[in-house]
């Protein structure tokens, strides 16, 4: 049987034109001798509503794609349109990678692994008694799981949707034990006593400018992690760094979720260090330009 050497994959989401995923995936594909094409499927560029998700999945499947990444605002909505879920995706209730195989759509989650690996490399010795998570959506559920796997003793969760924060806190308490997670009414009440802050919403991206928390709440003793990586240094990360905080930009999570997705799409073992170096190279080139 001839080994497959051509792969077409995608990313479905909104406002994703600045994504580094195409370049990251395609160069790694070339390093493996593959004809590897990564296509952005941006609902805003196509001028279609969020309800077009089923048609977009059908289109990519019909075009012979090996799979597609999924990002905001579809990480939870996509589940209704899949045939199977991996154990991680089922447990988290969120999907960032869909593999098309043997006529089935199989959902996976590599986001939690991405944040986990990034934290171990960037904040390995940071205090983890208590942290605040802002955002309980598709990315937030994955990051929350990673945070508790990393040994954060208590995770307080704030979301604009109180019910969503409460639901995630209950799921985590069931999975990791009572007292490990709780909904937060306001960030202020938690940050007075927390070691760190994790941000998991689109705020800070070009399409959603701003900072997700009052800067006055951030103190030098806090560590601050962001999942947004475009721009790499968000207003949140810049503000925290200015105050003397240890920071973890979103680039690491982007790299390691891509490592996991690449492995799922083509069954090859990616070189994480090579992908990390390429990611850094792309941002350095932009800084010089």
Q: List the catalytic residues.
A: 75
Please report the DSSP string for the chain in residue order.
-PPP-EEEEEEEESS-TT-SHHHHHHHHHHHTT-EEEEEEEEHHHHT--GGGHHHHHHHHHHTT-SEEEE-TT-TTGGGGG-SEE-HHHHHHT--SEEEEETTEEEEE--HHHHHHHHHHHHSTTS--SEEEEE--SHHHHHHHHHHHHTT-SEEEEE-SSHHHHHHHHHHHHHHH-TTSEEE-S-HHHHHTT-SEEEE-SSBTBTTS-S-SS-GGG--TT-EEEE---SSSS-HHHHHHHHTT-EEE-THHHHHHHHHHHHHHHHS----HHHHHHHHHHHHHHHHH-
Burial of 176 (0-12, 13-18, 19+ CB in 10 A): middle
Q: How far is CA 173 from the centre of its chain?
A: 22
């Amino acid at each position: 049987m001839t080994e497959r050497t051509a792969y077409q994959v995608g990313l479905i989401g909104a406002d994703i034109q600045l994504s580094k995923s195409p370049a990251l995936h395609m160069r790694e594909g070339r390093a493996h001798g593959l004809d590897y094409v990564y296509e952005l499927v941006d609902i805003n560029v196509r001028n279609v509503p969020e309800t077009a998700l089923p048609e977009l999945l059908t289109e990519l499947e019909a075009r012979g794609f090996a799979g597609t990444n999924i990002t905001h605002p579809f990480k939870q909505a996509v589940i209704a349109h899949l045939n199977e879920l991996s154990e991680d995706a089922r447990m988290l209730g969120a999907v960032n990678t869909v593999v098309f195989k043997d006529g089935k759509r199989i959902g996976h989650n590599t986001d939690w692994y991405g944040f986990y690996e990034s934290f171990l490399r960037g904040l390995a010795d940071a205090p983890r008694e208590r942290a605040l998570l802002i955002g309980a959506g598709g990315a937030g559920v994955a990051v929350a799981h990673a945070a508790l796997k990393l040994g954060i003793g208590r995770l307080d969760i704030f979301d604009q949707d109180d019910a969503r924060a409460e639901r995630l806190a209950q799921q985590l308490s069931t999975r990791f034990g009572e007292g490990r997670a709780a909904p937060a009414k306001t960030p202020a009440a938690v940050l007075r006593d927390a070691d760190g802050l994790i941000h998991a919403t689109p705020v800070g991206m070009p399409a959603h400018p701003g900072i997700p928390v009052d800067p006055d709440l951030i103190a030098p003793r806090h560590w601050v992690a962001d999942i947004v990586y475009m721009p790499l240094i968000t207003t949140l990360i810049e503000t925290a760094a200015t105050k003397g905080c240890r920071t973890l930009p979103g680039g690491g999570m982007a790299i390691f979720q891509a490592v996991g997705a690449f492995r799922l799409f083509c069954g090859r073992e990616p070189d994480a260090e090579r992908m990390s170096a390429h990611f850094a190279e792309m941002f350095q080139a932009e800084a010089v330009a």
